[in-house]
């Protein structure tokens, strides 16, 4: 099967996260491929290492160095002639480095039982990958222009349906196919957004957080538990790390939805900076500094306050499950507001709206899934994340008028 055949709408859900459409310059910029990385602290028994890293590295007796996937990814990069042309890719360590990383790999198996018939199995493979363009300094050559930091993530889910539970070798092959498909889609999307020349922004916004409900709903708790299990993380702070990881992933989902909503509304004078990128900070910066010999601190977290900037504070207000006849439903509510920092204080904007409740963008959406005794499944991760994405899309649409009003005030 061709890799791109994996990205079909019925069997695959692909979501690019936080594609900032604000990278622009007076002249074309030059980039080079720095490699594909992962966190070397990952356990050898994790699904990521067992199904992706270990099978694809050339020398399985060598120690993990975090860049074992680079050669395979480079082979894909070399086939993307349009990507190379659009981003000005060269084969030297010159220009802005482009680094890819794999951030999550896990799967769930659903067992379907029918009287008198063999069991059926639905296996959902989920792989998250990211791309980052980094520089050793910000390029604030023009007012309100942030030109050279780019971060986007994609989540690809592939469903495999069969009469037999897939073997470990079959699951590993599926993981690798999904990963390669994610890399291809990442490169295509990066080329698209890097060439998207937007007007100079009059205001810049950044999604700064994503608060989880407290106490944690059962389905969010399940996402965290499944993430810890997939990572085979036995450390005392494993749950907190997975909570932070999930929160930041949802930040990137919301950031993408805001970009899409701005595009639909044809708002061209508002720029969205990417959220903080944990895969850049935790996995790539040190390797990149060593390779490039960069002495200065590489910019990973843009300071939106330097650019007539505003923070978008967001959170999941409610995530709950309801049971029907043969089905269950995941209901998700997301909300957000815009603030401007004034020293240690935060000003809730836009100021022209006096009713505080009308300064909050809220959306509730739901996803339904089969829930019967003959349809035995574990955590419906794909359904939960689907409901979160739908709520993020609705909240982003409601946020656009507030973004426009805020930009017009300053």
* Mean pLDDT of the chain, nearest integer: 82
Task: Find the helix or strand (DSSP H, E) in which 2 lies.
Answer: none
Confidence tier at 294 by pLDDT (50, 70, 90): low
Contacts of 283 (CB under 8 A, 6+ apart): 37, 38, 39, 66, 101, 103
With a pLDDT cut of 90, the percent of the chain lying above it is: 42
pLDDT in tens, 339-381: 998 878 889 999 999 999 999 999 999 999 988 888 777 778 8
Confidence tier at 275 by pLDDT (50, 70, 90): confident
Residue 90: CB atoms within 10 Å: 13
Confidence tier at 257 by pLDDT (50, 70, 90): very high
Sign of CA dihedral 234, 387, 179, 5: positive
Q: What pLDDT was estimated at residue 27?
A: 47
100 forms beta bridges with 36, 131
Do the beta carbons of residue 318 and residue 325 sit within 8 Å?
no
Q: What pLDDT was estimated at residue 15?
A: 37
User: How far, in Å, CA of 158 to CA of 330, rounded?
Assistant: 21
Instruction: Decide which of 302 and 206 is more confident.
Output: 206
Task: Assess whether pLDDT exceeds 70 at residue 306.
Answer: no
Task: Find the helix or strand (DSSP H, E) in which 54 lies.
Answer: helix 54-56
Do the beta carbons of residue 14 and residue 128 sit within 8 Å?
no
Q: What pLDDT was estimated at residue 312?
A: 96
Instruction: Specify the range with the lowest mean pLDDT, choosing from 59-63, 191-195, 387-391.
Output: 191-195
Q: What pLDDT was estimated at residue 300?
A: 59
Residue 335: CB atoms within 10 Å: 20
């Amino acid at each position: 099967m061709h890799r791109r055949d994996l990205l079909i709408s019925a069997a695959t859900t692909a979501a690019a996260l936080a594609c900032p459409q604000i990278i622009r310059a007076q002249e074309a910029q030059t980039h080079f491929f720095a490699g594909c990385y992962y966190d070397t602290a990952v356990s050898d028994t994790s699904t990521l290492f067992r199904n992706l890293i270990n099978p694809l590295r050339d020398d399985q007796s060598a120690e993990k160095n975090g860049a074992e996937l680079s050669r395979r990814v480079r082979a894909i990069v070399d086939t993307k002639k349009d990507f190379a042309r659009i981003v000005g890719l060269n084969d030297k360590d010159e220009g802005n480095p482009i680094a890819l990383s794999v951030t999550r790999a896990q799967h769930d198996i659903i067992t379907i039982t029918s009287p008198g018939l063999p069991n059926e199995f639905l296996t959902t493979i989920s792989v998250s990958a990211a791309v980052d363009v980094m520089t050793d300094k910000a390029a604030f050559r023009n007012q309100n222009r942030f030109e050279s930091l780019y971060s986007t993530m994609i989540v690809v889910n592939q469903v495999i349906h069969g009469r037999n539970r897939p073997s470990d070798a079959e699951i590993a092959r599926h993981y690798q196919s999904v990963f390669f498909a994610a890399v291809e889609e990442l490169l295509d999307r990066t080329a698209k957004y890097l060439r998207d020349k937007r007007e100079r922004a009059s205001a810049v916004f950044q999604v700064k957080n994503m608060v989880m409900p407290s106490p944690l709903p059962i389905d969010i708790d399940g996402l965290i538990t499944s993430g810890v299990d997939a990572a085979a993380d036995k450390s005392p702070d494993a749950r907190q790390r997975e909570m932070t990881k999930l929160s930041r992933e949802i930040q990137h989902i919301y950031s993408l939805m805001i970009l899409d909503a701005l595009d639909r509304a044809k708002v061209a004078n508002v720029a969205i900076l990417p959220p903080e990128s944990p895969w850049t900070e935790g996995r790539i910066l040190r390797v990149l500094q060593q390779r490039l010999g960069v002495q200065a601190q590489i910019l990973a977290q843009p300071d939106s306050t330097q650019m007539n900037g505003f923070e978008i504070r967001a959170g999941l207000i409610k995530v709950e499950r309801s049971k029907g006849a043969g089905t269950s439903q995941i209901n998700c509510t997301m909300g957000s507001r815009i603030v401007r920092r004034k020293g240690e204080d935060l000003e809730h904007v836009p100021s022209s709206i006096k009713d505080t409740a009308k300064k909050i963008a809220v959306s509730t959406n739901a996803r339904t899934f089969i829930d019967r005794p003959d349809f035995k499944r574990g955590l419906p991760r794909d359904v939960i994340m689907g409901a979160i994405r739908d709520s993020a899309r609705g909240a982003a649409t409601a946020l656009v008028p507030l973004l426009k009003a805020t930009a017009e005030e300053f």
